[in-house]
Amino acid sequence: MSHDAHLTPIADGLFAWLPDGRGTWGLANCGLLVSGEHAALIDTPYDLPRTRALLDACARVLGPETRIGTAITTHSNGDHSYGLAALADVEIIGTEDYLHALDHEPTPQQMHLLIHETPQDQPTAWYLRRHFGRFDFTGLDVVAPTRTFTGRLDLTVGTAPVRLVQAGPAHTDGDLWVHLPQHGVVFTGDLAFADDHPVHWAGPLDQVVDACLAILATGATVIVPGHGPVMTPADLRAHIDYLGWVRDRAHQLHAQGVPAQRAALQLIDSGRYPGLGLPERLAITVATEYRHLDGDSRTPDLVALVDAAARIALSRDTRIPGPRTPAEDSRTAPPPQS
């Protein structure tokens, strides 16, 4: 059975699992480091079938005496962590803040209910089924890291040095990135996306930019983003420019009193980045930035954020007939009165 991914060598003893996930959610990149009789995974897929496919691919490149003894999880989003449930007798490493992020991360059971039990006539239901309906969340339990750290953690896998650097709160509260200095490679987790508009839940964007700048400063020549094809340093610089544009426009529109949803629509309608998919995700990232500008420290309503993105996506999808949505109406609504 195909699960839309393949294990690609990117350096000596280092592989990337690269699903073709452009224009959709949940198909995250993973990594495998092999050194002698030791191996480590970097992130795991969203469900058990895809994780088993990854493990089968790993088995084909591991030596007969080599075992995966370490799993590094870059953040708590399920598309990078749910597959941990398929691992046994493995040390799982994440940041200390990863544990706190789990408190408001949807469980596999909640994801199943949102996808299959949400009323069919709601934009959120259409959007969730469209992007997450391919995944099988049955039989999954959330597995937390067994080893946590703050700041930086240096490891050795076989003879290969591995540096883990805390970056959160950024994409989520508990982000880290993985530097393999011997290989000249960084796995960014969802601090960087390729081909699609990113989505950021924790922020602020300055934290995401700072993490990307720190990744550039390593001198790594190969950068594996959380989603999309492998990046060069030039690609990451272009992504940093994009993040700066979103941040600056969000700040300008916030200062003008433009609501977050309408601000996201203005960024989309600018046509500034026509080659990126999933523009509706700007609704989430802009709302996240607005929370920081408002000094709002409450845990965000993740379902409401996805609903905002879904309404924009539905309003822009010409294949789906139906009445105008609030997102469409906001395009022509008068500006707010101050």
Domain that holds residue 190: 7-332
68 phi and psi angles, rounded to 5 deg: -85, 110
Inside any domain, residue 1 = no
pLDDT, residue 146, reads 97
Inside any domain, residue 14 = yes
pLDDT digits (tens, 9 = 90+) for 110-135: 999 999 988 878 899 999 999 999 99
Q: Give dist(CA 256, CA 11) in Å, integer.
A: 49
Q: Give dist(CA 248, CA 207) in Å, integer.
A: 14
Based on the structure, what is the number of domains in the chain?
A: 1
For residue 54, what is the domain's CATH number? Answer: 3.60.15.10
Q: List the one residue out of 104, 74, 72 whose CA is nearest residue 87.
A: 72
Inside any domain, residue 272 = yes
Separation of first and last alpha carbons in the chain? 57
Inside any domain, residue 88 = yes
Q: Give dist(CA 17, CA 4) in Å, integer.
A: 10
Structure tokens at 51: 């994780």
pTM (2 decimals)?
0.92
Inside any domain, residue 85 = yes
pLDDT, residue 121, reads 84
Inside any domain, residue 338 = no
pLDDT, residue 256, reads 98
pLDDT, residue 290, reads 98
Q: Point out the residues of the chain with pLDDT beneath 70.
A: 1-4, 318-338
pLDDT, residue 130, reads 94
Inside any domain, residue 218 = yes
pLDDT, residue 3, reads 55
pLDDT, residue 118, reads 83
Inside any domain, residue 337 = no
